[in-house]
Amino acid sequence: MRAILGTKDFVLGTFASNCSGGMTPTLLPERWASSWENNEKLGLLLDEAGIDFMLPIARWIGYGGETDFHGQVLETMTWATALLAKTKRLTVFATIHVAANHPVVVAKQMASLDEISRGRAGLNIVAGWNKPEYEALGLTLPPDHPTRYRYAQEWFDIVEKIWTSETPFDWDGEFFKLKGCYGKPLPWNRERPPIINAAGSGEGREFATRNADFLFTPAIDLSRSKAEVQELKGQARNVGRNVDVLTFSHVVCRPTEQEARDYWTHFADKNADWVAVDNLIALQFANAQSFPHDLMALIRDRFAAGHGGFPLVGTPTQVADGISALHEAGFKGTTLSFVDYVKEFPYFRDEVLPLLEARGLRAAR
């Protein structure tokens, strides 16, 4: 059984360290530089600390503004390969846009990555939403969700068929015609790598509950999250599957609450790259349904702070309280992001992880 699928722990990962700015569209000079040097340092720190996974964002053009937030991005399959070669325990996901990547190629890349890492590779599937990015690639984003997800389903059916087929097969589908197709090696131990999807639309959530192990959804208001998580898990059970729900959080952890709050105001209000923030929000709202549209005002602040992530701000105890609240709402885990991941993670590791262990949310490593 894959480590990340079998664990009873509340799982923790990082998100977006392959992208310039990480999850923080700020003008501050210490904003995250998504160099390989920084990613390698972070991967080693996380692996050593027993963090469960790293999740990248696949991005082909940035969000503009003074910093061109997410303008400099390490491609996720190559990024994951290098990280998995360097680490021992971490699961590392690649993020793939189905329209930009042929399923036969991705199935083979993932199986190779899984062999290199002895079963620590994962796949985050993006069905598509970012129209200007599609245009930059010369692709057309289908305007309607049903077409996007019919394509995503056929794409993933092919990947799964390759991952499980011993013999060559033909494929005669709506979008793909394949002849004499197969892919070896198969995934490590012939187990399917863990699958993530972050859909918000009805069609997308049907896709996620049918196919994914983890569905990502923003935690904007935990009283709503509780019902949402139950509903999603129920929807998965109705098709005979177990799907866990994850969210993403942004961490500012300091010895005092005042220090944490002051820094939050400094990077996410006074020094936010507001042009990039507004471009990011406009695009999300134009083409995706991941964020509830009625929570827009609250979301603008949260996008400036952590790309819409759940705020974990304050002392180590307050940050641990926030994580406990996510757990109580039914989430199985969260990603973490920091303004400077490498500089700030060690404080989280030393002060927050022991609290989570003491509360029984995670086993000691």
Ligand X SMILES: Cc1cc2nc3c(=O)[nH]c(=O)nc-3n(C[C@H](O)[C@H](O)[C@H](O)COP(=O)(O)O)c2cc1C
User: Which positions lie near ligand X, rule CB under 6 A?
Assistant: 57-58, 95, 124, 126-127, 129-130, 145, 198-201, 204, 216, 248, 288-290
Closest to ligand X by CB, 34 vs 130, is: 130
Tokens of 179: 């002849």
Q: How far is the CB of 58 from ligand X (least distance, A)?
A: 4
Helix, strand or coil for residue 364?
A: coil
Backbone angle region of 189, left / alpha / beta, with phi > 0 → left and psi within -120 to 50 → alpha:
left
Q: How far is the CB of 199 from ligand X (least distance, A)?
A: 4
Closest to ligand X by CB, 57 vs 222, is: 57
350/357 Cα distance (integer angstroms): 12
Closest to ligand X by CB, 107 vs 152, is: 152
Tokens of 171: 């494929």
Q: How far is the CB of 27 from ligand X (least distance, A)?
A: 23
Which residue has tokens 């991967």?
Answer: 43
Which DSSP string do the residues of 54-97 spell out, in sequence order? EE----SS---TTTTTT-SB--HHHHHHHHHHH-SS-EEEEEEE
Closest to ligand X by CB, 145 vs 362, is: 145
Q: How far is the CB of 189 from ligand X (least distance, A)?
A: 26
| 3-state DSSP percent of the chain in helix, strand and coil, to 5 | 50, 15, 35
158/156 Cα distance (integer angstroms): 5
State how far Cα 186 lies from the chain centre: 24
Q: How far is the CB of 283 from ligand X (least distance, A)?
A: 10
Find the angle CA(219)-CA(223)-CA(227) to the nearest 5 degrees: 85
Between the alpha carbon of residue 238 and those of residues 41, 150, 234, the distances in Å are: 42, 20, 6
351/33 Cα distance (integer angstroms): 25
Closest to ligand X by CB, 113 vs 260, is: 113
Closest to ligand X by CB, 204 vs 314, is: 204
Q: How far is the CB of 57 from ligand X (least distance, A)?
A: 4
Closest to ligand X by CB, 70 vs 254, is: 70
Q: How far is the CB of 127 from ligand X (least distance, A)?
A: 5
Q: Which of 327, 312, 336, 333 is nearest to 359 (CA)?
A: 327
Closest to ligand X by CB, 4 vs 199, is: 199
Q: Which of 40, 35, 41, 10 is nearest to 20 (CA)?
A: 35
Q: How far is the CB of 93 from ligand X (least distance, A)?
A: 9
Q: Which residue is nearest to ligand X (CB)?
A: 204
